[in-house]
Amino acid sequence: MTSELSEARELFESGDSQGSMRVLRSAADRLPPAEVAPLLAGLARGAGFEDLAQASTALAARPGDAERLYDYGYACVERGIDAVAVPALREALRLVQAPPAAAVRTGLFRRRAKPQAAPQLGLRKVLLELVSALEGCERHGEALAVLREHDERLGDWPDRYLTVYNALMDGRIPLAREVFGAMSAPEGIWVGPGQRVGRMLERAAELPPVDGRDLRGWHYVLTGGLLTTLSPHGFEQGMTGRWAYLQDDFGHCHHGLERLRAVLAATGRAPDSVALLADRGSRALGLAAARLLGVPAAPFQPGTPGTPGALVVAYDLNECDPAVVAQLNERAEGQLLFEHATCWTDPPAVTADVSTLLGQIVNAPWEPGLQFGEDGEPAEAGPDRRSAEELAEAILAAAPEAPEGDGGTPADPDAVLTAFAARAVGWPAAGPRDRVRSAGPVRSSRFA
């Protein structure tokens, strides 16, 4: 038993199931699936995942069986532990494409073939599940490699569509364009995904990202949204413009609204009203935006087609009513969606047209958290219980300043942002604005 597996088992036996799973996720590629399976069965039963428990127990009983490796990997993917699924599905793929076993001598004149592991399990079925697991880990380069290796066995939909998608997420625009251009027209459920990657390729042709660290450029290609600020911390150490954690403040909220106003001016967009979402943070930011833009504000009306020309304002879409957010997937004519704090590790159900920042954990100014006094000393602060109207006043009263950083992030003055926005002729994006689950080619460090 490896040290990682021993550690995971000890954590499980001590009652720390989450810690045990974190170890299994991080060490999955170094651990034989059949050795992990008994522990995973116990973890699964504790979580009430009987399907995963049964698949794990079955694999432990017959470690070299391709069908059981596949079932185990499939159950892992279904339960959101893609990293644990990957080595099992890789082994299943190896087994299903292995040459027939040589015959073995059973007597003086008789020979018989060794039984095959799982002759009924097709390569394509295993391959696509492996690709799904790799995508779930955002290991798009590996997913692309395995798809290209078996390209002659693939069809266009969804197989080569996955090649295009993973090529884009890995920053391989020419390859994505080449494969997509040779594919047949999508039909049925694949029309939407086909149009989606087609729009990504159009944006990539219109405004190609500068390099693999061009966060704003890649955000636009993949989501169709405009990112107005970059984190000033840790750019060279792996954050590349994203936040891992941010204690937000009123000045930063005001700065985000000023950057929004600059984008609207650069693109010739003039919203005629602000639609207010119901949560206190979004309402406060929306009221402040209406004041700053000099337009009226009114509550967003769920169940209606939407108000043409309205700007919908959210502080964090993940904190909004999911039923309301779902109605923003397809915008009304001229309607725009602005989100201040967009989570990049758990993207919201819809993609905003404009985002101030990409963060993993963002603590709003009115939430309890660590605050810094005038002397620069940190202190725990309680929640700010003022009304949305009072918070809006506080936002507008604060100096519109971005957080100070370490000086390592490339300069990003208003002129750089507005020049980019003016060149984004495909903005605002057309069609449904589904979430993009992957961080894409620009990698950033994150909390486990």
pLDDT in tens, 231-289: 999 999 999 999 999 999 999 999 999 999 999 999 999 999 999 999 999 999 999 99
Is residue 236 domain-resident?
yes
pLDDT at 372 over 70: no
Is residue 171 domain-resident?
yes
CB of 115 closer than 8 Å to CB of 88? no
Is residue 431 domain-resident?
no
Stretch 200-227: mean pLDDT:
97
Indicate if 194 and 222 belong to the same structural domain: no
The pLDDT confidence band at residue 104, using thresholds 50, 70 and 90, is low
For residue range 346-359, what is the model confidence (pLDDT) as tens digits? 999 999 999 999 99
Indicate if 297 and 364 belong to the same structural domain: yes
CB of 228 closer than 8 Å to CB of 354? yes
Range of the domain at 21: 3-96
**Cross-strand pairs, 355:** 227, 339
Is residue 373 domain-resident?
yes
Indicate if 18 and 161 belong to the same structural domain: no
Indicate if 197 and 222 belong to the same structural domain: no
- Domain boundary (70, 96, 122) is at 96
For residue range 429-447, what is the model confidence (pLDDT) as tens digits? 988 999 999 999 999 999 8
Share of the chain above pLDDT 70, in %: 92
- Helices 161-169 and 123-136: crossing angle in degrees, nearest 10, is 20
pLDDT the model gives residue 118:
45
Residue type at position 364: A
Q: Would you give the end-to-end CA distance of the chain in angstroms?
A: 24
Is residue 121 domain-resident?
no
Is residue 191 domain-resident?
yes
Indicate if 264 and 396 belong to the same structural domain: yes
pLDDT the model gives residue 386:
97
For residue range 26-85, what is the model confidence (pLDDT) as tens digits? 999 999 999 999 999 999 999 999 999 999 999 999 999 999 999 999 999 999 999 999
**Cross-strand pairs, 381:** 369
CATH number at residue 72: 1.25.40
Is residue 409 domain-resident?
yes
Indicate if 255 and 366 belong to the same structural domain: yes
Q: Which spans in 207-298 are helix H?
A: 215-223, 250-267, 280-293
For residue range 298-307, what is the model confidence (pLDDT) as tens digits? 999 876 666 6
Indicate if 40 and 175 belong to the same structural domain: no
Q: Give the contacts of 258 (CB within 8 A, at least 6 positions apart).
A: 292, 400
Indicate if 332 and 351 belong to the same structural domain: yes
Indicate if 395 and 291 belong to the same structural domain: yes
- Domain boundary (178, 206, 234) is at 206
Indicate if 198 and 329 belong to the same structural domain: no
Domain count, the chain: 3
